[in-house]
Structure 1
Amino acid sequence: MNTLLKSVTIVNGSTKNLHLKKRDILIKNGVIEAIETSIEPTGKIKVIDIENLHVSIGWFDSGVSFGEPGYEERETIENGLLTAAKSGFTDIILNTSSYPTPDSSSDIVYLKNAAKDQLTSLYPLGNLTVKGDGEALAELYDMKNAGALGFYDYKHPISNANLFKIALQYAQNFEGLVFSFPMDKSISGKGIVNEGVISTKLGLKGIPALAEELQIARDLFILEYTGGKLFIPTISTANSVKLIAEAKKKGLEVYCSVTAHNLSITDDELQEFDTQFKVMPPLRTSLDIKALKKGLENGTIDLVTSDHTPLNIELKHVEFDNADYGSIGLESAFGLVNELFGTEETIALLTKGRSIFGIETPKLEVGEIANLTLFTPDEAYEFSEKHIYSSSKNSIALGRNMKGKVIGTIANNQLVVNQ
């Protein structure tokens, strides 16, 4: 794969002498061969010359779900990884949301083999407990050796505090990363949206912010007792940010993420009972969003995730109470975040975090393997179904104003271009 990128603006904070400079970049056989002011194409080579084209190291998403195995009609691994590539992501962490869920080394090997030879690299998680039922620990050590980068019962909180304590203690023997979904089910009960003015007005059962915060407080107390590494995915409330900030000040090894839609959409959108806005964690308030943004800016929140969750149409086209939680998000993540933070900060957010999982961070330098995302940062547009590459179309972002478009990606000696 030989490609010449003409007059691209490099957005790469790790290489200060190239940051925001316009250069030509020559890639041969998947390796960056030259970065110069001007390079003339020679031989058989694909030239990409697009006005205002920008390039960064490839983007990373720590929380993606597909359907395979079990729900291939929602999203296969192959099409999911192509969707990720077209959305700018060259590395993704795969959630344990399939059926059956991966709780053995053979399951991890299957997922890795299914993702071979794709542009976007897939890194699987394994279940923390057998079948994700919260009763007994799964084969954590064996899954780690097979390639699992962490252990997560997807969207299912670990209610048994002693089991969670043992998991943190055991995982320390092999540098295992334990995930804990922040939701106390005894508090959330049958709630389906954020508890507040909007839920009361609409007559929908609410999930108090306390349900998230109480679980986080419990987990952090246990982490302080046991030591180990904890990842708290998709936090959504102001007090959650505060709790994690205090834990980090104590020196606890805790990491967390926030979804792109929880940064940009409030529960005000629920007033039309549109099931596309039914997500977990639920959409919160503008005050929560303000705190989440601040948490990203000061480093309390480590990662922004798309929380990509493809679902069959019949799981969304029902009454609000009966609809499933979730939205696809790979295609809209850049546009949502870029609208909020601007190009440089957005790229910093979308490229950080690999080191948490032991994944090598790419470099945009001569002699390095090309792992790049191509984008234009300023184009304004309304997100519609034509911008969706996923097999499922359940997007919370439909009809929203976006800023910036992904042009393509280069990784694993492959090129995907959207236009």
Structure 2
Amino acid sequence: MMKSIIHILFFVSLSICSQGQTLEEYLKEAAENNPDIKAGFSEFNAALQKIPQVNTLPDPTVSLGVFVSPIETRVGAQRAKLSLSQMFPWFGTLQAREDVASLMADTKYKEVASIKNELFLNVKQTYFPIYEIMEHIRINEENLKILDTYKQLSTIKYANGKVPLTDILRVDIMLENVKTDIKILHESLNPLYVSFNRLLNRNDTLIVHIENPLLFPINENSIEAFIKTNPSLQLIDAKIEAEIANENLAKLKSKPNFGIGLDYAMISKRKDVEMAQNGKDVLMPMVTLSLPIFKKKNVAFVKESQLIQVALSEKKEGMENKLWSTYSTASFEVDRAKELYQHYQNQIDRNSRIINLLYTAYANSGRDFEEVLRVQQETLKYEMAKATVLKNYHLAIAKIDFITAKNIL
């Protein structure tokens, strides 16, 4: 059993528009606009319309027959016959049909929940890489300012003849590299914007705003119970229930149908004789019973349903194993991200102290400028790696949210 913990980590400062949407608002917008979810709800509503179609009796039958050559009877000639009949399925069949239709509609609803859960995962898997790139841009822009400061200092010291020209050239090269990186990073945002906006079913050119700060709540309590609420598993459970109902209906189909009816025969009077009940019409109640002697198809229906139930149960077991495996990997990624984040932060703190010392020494003596640049670039790499770790952390949390269906329950 996983231990219960709640961590709130890492506040990240981003320069964003104060009017920007939060991730939760993006998820809500995606759920409202996504065409697959809309289609799923339409299919669900259509499935609901099946219920009144299957839980009603067949229409009664009325027939009228006129004898071209009247049939002579003792009390007169039979001129016409009017028949009325109503068939009834075996006891419990109508309810069984309704149960099947209701459960099939429930599977459609569960499919919508599964689509929504997967959509939220896809939104998050696009959202956090955007955060990573925006953070990399911010870090590089800060690095540009630092390198500009280094260049100004080296230029002053070169003018005083205290450092060689190579110090300035080294900074120029690094500045050019950083500017190129920033340009490429900005360009790499465009396809992510398109992917993200498509998931929300909106204009491709709309800018995505990242909420600030980013919070990291994790709740690993009773994960086993949460996994059982995964929409994919619930969908399989709903299909199993529908197949059980189908099996019950197939068994009822092997029972006979019965009907009741009434025949009314119109008799004309005999003119050649006088008798009691001469020309009296005939009223005859009738009972009908079907004989389900060809049971092979119904036996096949029952067997089919039972085999589908076995297949769904095995599929559910495989899905549970997959979800547990994914959770185990995601949980490890969360722990690793926390450790790496702290490691990179410690390295950044140490490098900051080293850079201050080296920079002071360089300002006084003009020596070790190459080491100043090396440590500065090393710090930049740690800052970039820290942003990537935060992204990976969020992606791992997104997988856990997908497994536990956190955002849709």
Shorter-chain TM-score tier: under 0.3
Tell which has more relative contact order, 1 or 2 (C-alpha 8 A, sep 6+): 2
Higher strand share: 1
TM-score normalized by the length of structure 1: 0.18
Higher helix share: 2
